[in-house]
Amino acid sequence: MRYLPLTDADRREMRAKIGIKSIDDLFAGVPKDKLLSELPNLPRAQSEMEVERALSTMAARNTPAGSVPFFVGAGAYKHHVPATVDHLIQRSEFLTSYTPYQPEITQGTLQVLFEFQTQVARLTGMDVANASMYDGSTGAAEAVLMAHRITRRKKAVISGNLHPHYADVIKTLSHHGSAEVAAQPAAPLGDEDIAKAIDAGTSCVVVQYPDVFGHVRDLQPIADAAHMAGALLIVVVTEIVALGALRSPGEMGADIVAAEGQSIGNGLNFGGPYVGLFATRDKFVRQMPGRLCGETVDAEGRRGFVLTLSTREQHIRREKATSNICTNSGLCALAFTIHMTLLGEAGLRRLAALNHAHACDLADRLAKIKSVTVLNDAFFNEFTIRVPGDAQAVLDKLADRNILGGVRASRLYGSGAGVDDLILVASTECNTEADRVAYANALKEAL
């Protein structure tokens, strides 16, 4: 019995209804060079056991992050997630719940979202947060669109030290919205002067904190320059644990903060699913995309929660919507909230301090290697080193010694961008002293 119970006659009728001759016509918009010329070299059918065996063999080729000394970051970070988090999010009332279209009967879900928003607002130093975005990159792109609506301008100035993947998402949405993106060149030394790129047509300035090379800088001068020109400052945070140690973006004049929340409560998971954090000032709340949960009281004076200001395309006319994000990362947001609740403020600060201490120790060890240069004066748990020759060749030698030593900057910026000899190195609480010693020794041997 087929899973799709459609006969040839059914398919003919469907094709006639929409006016196509063949299934291939549905893919007419895909560039020809992106289509396969023939079927992939895979068995047409296998038993369940055979499929499991084949996929297990493929999976065994991976090196799990927890099996070797691991120093990879660049936007996705390995942190310890307490067992309590996974235990609670797998409760059926959380695991199987979906978008609360009937808020009056989903008070538990709404309370979780309200607590999540409160934590995000506290972390970022902003007035209000939503619940939530898909991930940090789409959150950053939505922040740019929001700035365009507020300022009635359509030019975004993007820092060259914004994670290139985030920049690409912004450029994609801007292209389809006929908006301009003024992307600055990379500044591996952290000496970027982005204020000089701001002009009268700028709607927003987008900077990362700490930036993709790990540099930490005071954002207040950038905020002042943006505001003088009538533009907004958007701050992107890819490592949210950093805000347990650093001044919040809100304290330095940020108007919108878009962040990736993966570091708290969510594993690496081969790149997803993750959870986007989004916060802004009270005065901009009506232009904030996504879902917003509010607290109120019912007719009998009892505390309750509601969805409010939901100007999403599912609720109003599409052209009037402030967001095309049709759902949120609810389960990942719940994991974030549980982990943050377990930590508390004191626990988060201790976790951040431990991350920084481990990174400082590693940076000191690597800086002692004769041909290695640490580029950062200030960083949180990630920094950039310059190595002689090609960074990928060095990382390959480290991998041969069972050390995952970081991310080559050219993987993000492309070869020829002047970063071929740079490696982004991250060290979290999961790295032991033995791991850091092993990295330093292996790098010395590799060079």
Question: What confidence tens digit (pLDDT) does each residue in 69-98 have?
Answer: 999 999 999 999 999 999 999 998 888 877
Which pLDDT score, from 0 to 100, does residue 106 have? 83
Same domain, 364 and 315: no
DSSP H/E element including 113: helix 107-124
* 325 pLDDT higher than 80: no
- Give a yes or no: residue 68 inside a domain: no
The pair of structure tokens assigned to 272 is: 């997803």
Residue with tokens 């690496």: 268
Which pLDDT score, from 0 to 100, does residue 124 have? 98
Same domain, 308 and 359: no
Same domain, 149 and 234: yes
Main-chain dihedrals φ then ψ at residue 208, nearest 5 degrees? -105, 145
The pair of structure tokens assigned to 416 is: 């020829």
List the domain range (segments joined by +) for residue 266: 83-339
- Domain end, chosen from 320, 339, 358, is at 339
pLDDT in tens, 165-199: 999 999 999 998 899 999 999 999 999 999 999 99
Same domain, 252 and 357: no
* 3 pLDDT higher than 70: no
pLDDT band at 446 (very low <50, low <70, confident <90, very high): very high
Which pLDDT score, from 0 to 100, does residue 60 have? 93
* 1 pLDDT higher than 60: no
Direct distance between the N- and C-terminal alpha carbons of the chain, in angstroms, rounded to an integer? 60
Same domain, 210 and 356: no
Do 265 and 116 meet the contact criterion of CB atoms below 8 Å apart? no
* 434 pLDDT higher than 80: yes
- Domain end, chosen from 287, 307, 339, is at 339
Which pLDDT score, from 0 to 100, does residue 44 have? 86
- Give a yes or no: residue 106 inside a domain: yes
State how far the alpha carbon of 392 is from the alpha carbons of 128, 173, 396, in Å: 42, 31, 6
Distance CA 424, CA 391 (A): 10
Same domain, 245 and 182: yes
The pair of structure tokens assigned to 64 is: 């799990």
Residue with tokens 């959380």: 94
- Give a yes or no: residue 254 inside a domain: yes
pLDDT in tens, 371-389: 999 999 999 999 999 999 9
> Which amino acid is it at 185?
P
> Which amino acid is it at 121?
A
Closest by CA to 206, choosing from 229, 184, 239, 188, is 184
Q: List the single range of 161-165, 218-222, 308-312, 435-439 with lowest mean pLDDT.
A: 308-312
Same domain, 112 and 206: yes
Length of the chain: 447
Same domain, 317 and 394: no
Percent of the chain exceeding pLDDT 90 equals 80
- Give a yes or no: residue 202 inside a domain: yes
| Bridge partner residues of 425 (DSSP) | 383
Which pLDDT score, from 0 to 100, does residue 91 have? 92
Q: What's the structural domain count of the chain? A: 2
Going by DSSP bridges, is the β-strand pair 128-129/276-280 parallel, antiparallel, or unpaired?
Answer: antiparallel
- Domain end, chosen from 280, 312, 339, is at 339
Single pTM value for the model = 0.90
Do 396 and 256 meet the contact criterion of CB atoms below 8 Å apart? no
Which pLDDT score, from 0 to 100, does residue 105 have? 76
The pair of structure tokens assigned to 75 is: 């936007």
Using DSSP's 3-state secondary structure scheme, residue 393 falls into: helix
Same domain, 278 and 314: yes
Same domain, 325 and 349: no
Closest by CA to 327, choosing from 352, 307, 344, 343, is 307
Q: List the single range of 7-16, 216-225, 244-253, 304-313 with lowest mean pLDDT.
A: 304-313
List, in order, residues 6 or more apart from 418 with CB less than 8 Å away. Answer: 186, 188
Other CB atoms within 10 A of residue 90 CB: 10
- Give a yes or no: residue 36 inside a domain: no
Other CB atoms within 10 A of residue 92 CB: 7
| Bridge partner residues of 277 (DSSP) | 259
* 367 pLDDT higher than 70: yes
- Give a yes or no: residue 432 inside a domain: yes
Which pLDDT score, from 0 to 100, does residue 291 have? 85
- Give a yes or no: residue 32 inside a domain: no
